[in-house]
Amino acid sequence: MTATTLATQLMISSDLLTGTEWNASSVRELLQLSADIKARPDRYRGALTGRVLALIFEKPSLRTRVTFEVGIQSMGGSAVFLDHTQSRLGERESLTDVARSLERWVHGIVARVFEQTALEALAAKAKIPVINALSDRFHPCQALADFFTLEEKFGSLRGLKLAYVGDGNNVCNSLLLAGARLGAHLRVATPAGYEPAPEIVAEARRTARETKAKIELLRDPAEAVTGAQAVYTDTWTSMGFEKEACERKAAFAGFQVNDAMMELLAPEGVFMHCLPAHRGAEVTDEVMDGERCIAFDQAENRLHVQKAILLTLLS
């Protein structure tokens, strides 16, 4: 199936802002395209020839920036990086003017922003696709790559038990939305006051009723991890919350993924992290460097999944 027919058949939104734009079958098709891209990259070498992508980043990035740049270049396109780490979007000129200017020059926008509202404002004014490269609310590209990695590892996502322990942040939100669409069983364990957004949990549970997925919110990380095929964690203090670092360190005591927690997994269980990891905080060196860590498989698969997203939206 070509990327053009994929986009036409899926009848998806021209943007990827939250992950809710795509239904269960659309996500399934995207993962299949990602697998084909990974297995046969030469088939797509000129698929985006002449396409130009604008990368707007308010926050630092390694994996997201490199994989989008390498991804479009490997398919014949090019990328322009717009560094907004020193000045926020909308400060120098309005978001409307930024969007309406960029749509005259490029074929798509990838934006990493502090606030989801900035991303939505760009999408509302730009007549070209806008892709969420991370916001305060969502990280859909990460979650799609995570489930692609799990499918590679275990063969099927339906009923797969994924335990997320830590902060109910943007990554957690997107894992809930994607996992619900793919029929997974998600157990999320957070300290009180750090739960994922209730409206996102409600949306995930609504989808789960249709796909036979399962969503559980727990307090005890050990309960979440016991018998799971994977345990996933992220930084306890996301970008923008640095002033809460000491408070969060105390709140998350007992949520560190260490050898003892890994022993609670199913025998084939693995460790996942979206990176960057804070070794000695949410995860130990032993787990990060151990044979059961697949965090770098996740990082590699960001490239293949994001290539599939670009093909779907830009071709």
Distance, CA of 91 to CA of 49 (rounded, Å) = 33
Is domain 3-138+301-314 classified as CATH 3.40.50.1370? yes
Q: Do domains 3-138+301-314 and 142-298 have the same CATH topology?
A: yes
Collapsing DSSP states into helix, strand and coil, what is residue 47? coil
On the question of pLDDT at 292 being above 80, the answer is yes
Distance, CA of 68 to CA of 90 (rounded, Å) = 23
Entry pTM: 0.95
Output DSSP code: residue 134. -
Q: Give per-residue pLDDT as tens, 120-131.
A: 999 999 999 999
Distance, CA of 7 to CA of 313 (rounded, Å) = 7
Contacts of 111 (CB under 8 A, 6+ apart): 55, 56, 57, 58, 89, 118, 119, 122, 130, 131, 132, 133
Distance, CA of 184 to CA of 215 (rounded, Å) = 8
Catalytic residues: 112, 139, 142, 234, 274, 302
| Residue spans per domain, the chain | 3-138+301-314, 142-298
What is the pLDDT at residue 8? 46
Write down the CATH superfamily of domain 142-298: Aspartate/ornithine carbamoyltransferase (3.40.50.1370)
Q: Give per-residue pLDDT as tens, 60-94.
A: 999 999 999 999 999 999 999 999 988 888 888 99
